[in-house]
Amino acid sequence: MSTLYLVATPIGNLADITFRAIEILKQVSLIAAEDTRVTQKLLNHYQIRNRLISFYDQNESRRIPLLLEALQNGDVALVSDSGTPGLNDPGFELVNAAIAAGHRVSPIPGPCAPIAALVASGLPTDHFLYVGFLPRKTSERNQTLEKLVSLPYTLILLEAPHRLLKTLTSLYHALGNRRVVIARELTKLYEEFWRGDLAQAIESFSVQPPRGEITLVIEGASQSKPPWDETRLLEAIRLHLQSRTNLKELANHLATESGWQSREIYRRALQIKHST
């Protein structure tokens, strides 16, 4: 029985790797990497000479049989471009396949951007939910946000710089004006933590779009929330009308979140629907 090692690698600063991770990368018979060019730079930095193959979304199904065959002859390491493999990266199916084949799966802990951003955010860390990237399709995105509205947990999201403003706007309309921390370029030379609320973030990043990899940490839902003002209610109705055609269902859903009576929400939704 061989071992599939899930090896965490630096998220920016090449010094952020454990001695054990380096030893494992030297000892295994094969390293599967999301982007071999990125991983090769890390291996060169630590003078690691080992066999390296690509393992990413588009070739995952073809690579799994090859990696299972490699595990018959020795240990294998899985790495992502940065951080802990398996989080928003290929790996889940390989892990399951290795377990099913009777192999051992062992994590080699280390850098993880979501956790690094969370602990430095200043927001509660006792209960949190890792969301990852929101869906790109508007309908799927709205459905995901609906599930997050009432959760009292700190939320952790990832986003690309060119989509940040759209995501902040979606979060504001769905969740309200919550506190948010935007972590950029973690552990790198220009590491930055922006702190404020969603409305301020929209204003700030409309003027100066960000660069670099971004992690968002967002305040969870308050357990004792005041009723929404009329402007926020109308914005939420318009947002939900994009994906909901049943006005009664919409009214009942928003009544729970907004503190408004469902009859009044239904009336407002009917007016908006007829005016568009």
Does 225 map to a domain? no
**Number of compact structural domains in the chain:** 3
Answer whether residue 270 is part of any domain.
yes
CATH number at residue 81: 3.40.1010.10
Q: Where are the beta strands (DSSP E) in the chain?
A: 3-7, 30-33, 52-54, 76-79, 104-108, 128-132, 154-159, 179-184, 192-197, 214-218
Gap between the Cα atoms of 176 and 37, Å rounded:
42
pLDDT digits (tens, 9 = 90+) for 21-68: 999 999 999 999 999 999 999 999 999 999 999 999 999 999 999 999
Which of the four pLDDT bands, split at 50, 70 and 90, describes residue 209? confident
Looking at the structure, do residues 212 and 267 belong to the same domain, yes or no?
Answer: no
The answer to whether the CB of 174 falls within 8 A of the CB of 157 is no
pLDDT tens per residue, range 119-156 = 999 999 999 999 999 999 988 998 999 899 889 999 99
The answer on 95 and 118 residing in a single domain is: no
CA distance 212 to 177: 25
Residue 223 domain-assigned? Answer: no
pTM assigned to the model? 0.79
- The residue range of the domain holding 101 is 3-111
- pLDDT per residue as tens digits for the range 228-269: 899 999 999 998 888 766 888 888 778 877 878 888 999 999
Same domain (yes/no): 211, 241: no
pLDDT digits (tens, 9 = 90+) for 57-103: 999 999 999 999 999 999 999 999 999 999 888 899 999 999 999 99
